[in-house]
């Protein structure tokens, strides 16, 4: 009998079998116990709108049906929310899924993309997966560097340049004028991927005016953060109609669960719950800063639902602090590139979760120092 086997492409065969993040569930299985405070994945632990939960429960009764392949109701609601055309909106399986589609559309073997060294690693994961070459640019004062990103994109002939505003993993941000100048200077033949996952948490003056027909930029938003629906996997992109239409060439048309569609639609309409969440997150950021300062540490200003806590030393010390927190059942993460990896990153959790963090941090610092 002829032996058969899966014949991977040379590119796929060359890639490591890894993921950008090791999830908390994976760590819990390895540890043999659950975390007491889940403060590492930038999840909104205050949760979704009760109206969204009710809508998802109702939709679950009809889950025998596929979801609407056009995401018509959600796209229409988003269009009304942003006062733009539905033809400028693409809904997908979170920003992660949309980034994968975007890279598949634009990046082939050897094509160059530009991003910040230490920025959101899932973008890099997709680029590598399609054979692209990443040209990294250093952070500047714990911020992504728009001028350097654009200059590098011009130098290397990049097809894509990526920036998150506000930034993950540092929580820092640029004002709308700075980002608009970046859009205005995108090199010919290049597209700016502007990740705005945390934009609802950002102060006034952070968001450039939406110009959905501008062919130089695609902007990505999500229901995972401010709307508290990370597990539902709902994101959307805003871009020129030609680019949005191109997504239909390669996207998973039935990738969006009808339960998720219903939940996102209800969440978008519940402005009161969003306002309460933003207040809760702001209070939690202040609490994290207070906890850090009581322990002789400082924090970076944050426009997100997490805070980068500066451990005041190097990556090895920060990793020791992180490990000692995990030993006490507190799940946190840290940036992976220098010098940002002198920090740990703590999600803006509920008061009871931050109580656990507050009790564990001095013990973790003592262990790291000892």
Note the pLDDT tens digit of each residue in 304-321: 999 999 999 999 999 999
- Report how far residue 345's alpha carbon sits from residue 333's, in angstroms, rounded to the nearest whole number: 5
pLDDT at residue 2 is higher than 90: no
- Report how far residue 123's alpha carbon sits from residue 129's, in angstroms, rounded to the nearest whole number: 10
- Report how far residue 336's alpha carbon sits from residue 119's, in angstroms, rounded to the nearest whole number: 9
Residue-wise pLDDT tens digits, 235-253: 999 999 999 999 999 999 9
pTM of the predicted structure, to 2 decimals: 0.96
Q: By the 8 A CB rule, do 284 and 348 touch?
A: yes
Q: By the 8 A CB rule, do 349 and 342 touch?
A: no
> For position 20, what pLDDT does the model report?
85
Looking at the chain, which residues constitute the CATH 3.90.1150.10 domain(s)?
A: 22-47+272-369
Residue-wise pLDDT tens digits, 209-228: 999 999 999 999 999 999 99
- Report how far residue 287's alpha carbon sits from residue 292's, in angstroms, rounded to the nearest whole number: 9
Nearest by Cα to 357 from 30, 23, 40, 31: 40
3-state secondary structure of 314: coil
The class level of CATH for 22-47+272-369 reads: alpha beta
> For position 5, what pLDDT does the model report?
78
Helix axes 94-106, 121-129, angle to 10 degrees: 40
Looking at the chain, which residues constitute the CATH 3.40.640.10 domain(s)?
A: 50-269
| Sign of the torsion formed by the C-alpha atoms of 118, 123, 125 and 127 | negative
Return the CATH number of the domain spanning residue range 50-269. 3.40.640.10
Nearest by Cα to 216 from 177, 250, 243, 247: 243
Instruction: HSE, CB side, 13 Å, CA atoms: give it for residue 331.
Output: 22
3-state secondary structure of 280: helix
What mean pLDDT is predicted for residues 141-152? 98
What mean pLDDT is predicted for residues 72-84? 98
Got the DSSP string for 158-213? -SEEEEESS-TTT-----HHHHHHHHHTPPTT-EEEEE-TTGGGSPTT-SPPP-TT
> For position 1, what pLDDT does the model report?
60
Residue-wise pLDDT tens digits, 5-40: 788 999 999 999 988 888 999 999 999 999 999 999
Give burial (CB, 10 Å; 0-12/13-18/19+) of 121: middle
Residue-wise pLDDT tens digits, 329-340: 999 999 999 999
What mean pLDDT is predicted for residues 64-88? 98
Q: Tokens standing for 361?
A: 């941090």
Region of 182 on the Ramachandran plot (φ > 0 left; ψ -120 to 50 alpha; else beta): alpha
Write out the E strands in the chain.
37-38, 89-92, 112-116, 133-137, 160-164, 191-195, 217-222, 235-238, 298-299, 306-310, 330-331, 343-347
Nearest by Cα to 344 from 227, 360, 95: 360
> For position 21, what pLDDT does the model report?
87
């Amino acid at each position: 009998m002829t032996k058969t086997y899966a014949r991977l492409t040379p590119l796929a065969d060359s890639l490591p079998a890894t993921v950008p993040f090791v999830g908390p569930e994976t760590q819990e299985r390895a540890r043999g116990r659950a975390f007491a405070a889940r403060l590492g994945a930038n999840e909104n632990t205050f949760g979704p709108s009760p109206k969204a939960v009710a809508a998802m429960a109702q939709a679950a009764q009809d889950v025998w049906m596929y979801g609407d392949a056009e995401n018509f109701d959600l796209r229409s609601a988003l269009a009304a929310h942003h006062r733009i055309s539905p033809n400028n909106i693409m809904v997908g399986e979170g920003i992660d899924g949309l980034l994968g589609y975007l890279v598949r559309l634009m990046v082939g073997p050897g094509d160059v993309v530009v991003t910040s060294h230490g920025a959101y690693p899932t973008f890099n994961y997709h680029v590598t997966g399609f054979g692209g070459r990443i040209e990294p640019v250093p952070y500047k004062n714990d911020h992504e560097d728009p001028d350097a990103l654009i200059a590098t994109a011009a130098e290397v002939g990049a097809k894509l340049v990526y920036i998150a505003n506000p930034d993950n993993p540092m929580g820092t941000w640029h004002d709308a004028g700075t980002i608009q100048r970046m859009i205005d200077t995108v090199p010919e033949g290049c597209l700016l991927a502007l990740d705005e996952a945390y934009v609802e948490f950002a102060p006034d003056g952070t968001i450039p005016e939406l110009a959905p027909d501008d062919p130089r930029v695609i902007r990505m938003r999500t229901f995972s953060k401010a709307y508290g629906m990370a597990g539902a996997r709902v994101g959307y992109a805003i871009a020129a109609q030609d680019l949005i239409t191109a997504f239909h060439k390669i996207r998973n048309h039935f990738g969006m669960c009808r339960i998720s569609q219903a939940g996102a639609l209800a969440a978008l309409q519940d402005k009161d719950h969003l306002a309460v969440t933003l207040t809760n997150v702001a209070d939690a950021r202040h609490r994290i800063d207070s906890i850090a300062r009581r322990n002789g540490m400082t924090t970076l200003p944050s426009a997100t639902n997490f805070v980068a806590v500066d451990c005041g030393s190097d990556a090895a010390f920060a990793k020791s602090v992180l490990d000692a927190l995990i030993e006490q059942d507190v799940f946190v993460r840290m940036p992976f590139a220098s010098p940002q990896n002198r920090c740990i990153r703590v999600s803006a959790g509920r008061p009871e979760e931050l109580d656990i963090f507050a009790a564990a941090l001095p013990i973790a610092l003592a262990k790291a120092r000892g």
